[in-house]
Amino acid sequence: MAKPPQEFKHKIFRTGLPRTPEQRLQVARRSVFLHLHPSRIAADRMKIGFTWCLGGLSFMLFLVTVVTGALLMIYYRPVLENAYADMLDLSYAVFLGRFTRNVHRWAGHGIVITVVVHMLRVFYTGSYKPPREFNWIVGVCLLLIVLAFAFTGYLLPWDQISYWGTRVGTHLLHSVPLLGADGPFGSALGLKPDGDLAVFVLGDADLGPRALVRFYSLHVFILPVFAVVFLMVHFWRVRKDGNLAAKL
């Protein structure tokens, strides 16, 4: 008899309370944290198929940014007086500094491209359909994380282009519905430009030292933690759901 389709919420919260020993075992087998490595994988799920390696390439570029970013952290200080000078030092005085900086920058640009093309591949092969719709949503979160990495990293050199680019980007937050002073319902809610979403993000009425530290801590700590958790769940679901493209 055909199984009834699972409700979407059961794909996210996969089990109810485990009451029998079998159900308790299932919790361990199905949980990413308790059992990251699935206990069983169908043979065809291990084949390299028509994925164009785009997910793998994205992950490889992610690793490159992690290693080069850690090296850049040795010199870079997220303080207004030092940030730009540290970037100049890295480019002209530090051994292999310019190379490390450029590899980090290009890998960062590259990952945005590979992730978007990976997403298109998943879309055009219909790989977002059940049972992979949960992994599609995990992927959308990963896309937002990658874009947030790019946006926060852009400010760090604290040169003219990064300052004005980020200023334009963060100014848009004043126009977000309900949360921005200039956005729809902003004035009805009594929001002021010096107390809305933009100020919450920047930590101040304008782009300054607080914004630099916030963007730095997002870029080197908060976003990486989110990225690692979402990547773990993403890879675990790829293995559990099976890679559709491998069968094409």
Catalog residues that contact ligand HEM under the rule CB under 6 A.
Answer: 51, 54-56, 58-59, 62, 115, 118-119, 122, 127-128, 132, 135-136, 139-140, 142-143, 146, 231, 234, 238, 243-245
> For ligand HEM, which is the closer residue by CB, 103 or 143?
143
> Locate tokens 């994988």: which residue?
41
Q: Cβ of residue 105: shortest distance to ligand HEM, in angstroms? A: 17
Q: How far is the CB of 5 from ligand HEM (least distance, A)?
A: 18
- At its nearest, how many Å lie between ligand HEM and the CB of residue 67? 15
Neighbour-count burial of 83, counting CB atoms closer than 10 A to its CB (0-12 exposed, 13-18 middle, 19+ buried)? buried
What are phi and psi for residue 75, nearest 5 degrees? -105, -35
DSSP annotation of 204 reads S
Closest contact distance (angstroms) between CB of 3 and ligand HEM is: 20
Residue (150 or 179) nearer to ligand HEM, CB: 150
Nearest-angstrom CA–CA distance, 66 and 83: 20
16 torsion bin: left (phi>0), alpha (psi -120 to 50), beta (else): beta
Using the minimum distance from each CB to ligand HEM, give the nearer residue, 115 or 181.
115
The CA angle 176-177-178, to the nearest 5 degrees, is 115
Cβ proximity to ligand HEM: between 174 and 234 the closer is: 234
| Cα separation, 104 vs 208, whole angstroms | 24
Nearer to ligand HEM, 54 or 212 (CB): 54
DSSP 15-38: -----SHHHHHHHHHH-TTT-SS-
Nearest distance, CB of residue 149 and ligand HEM, angstroms: 9
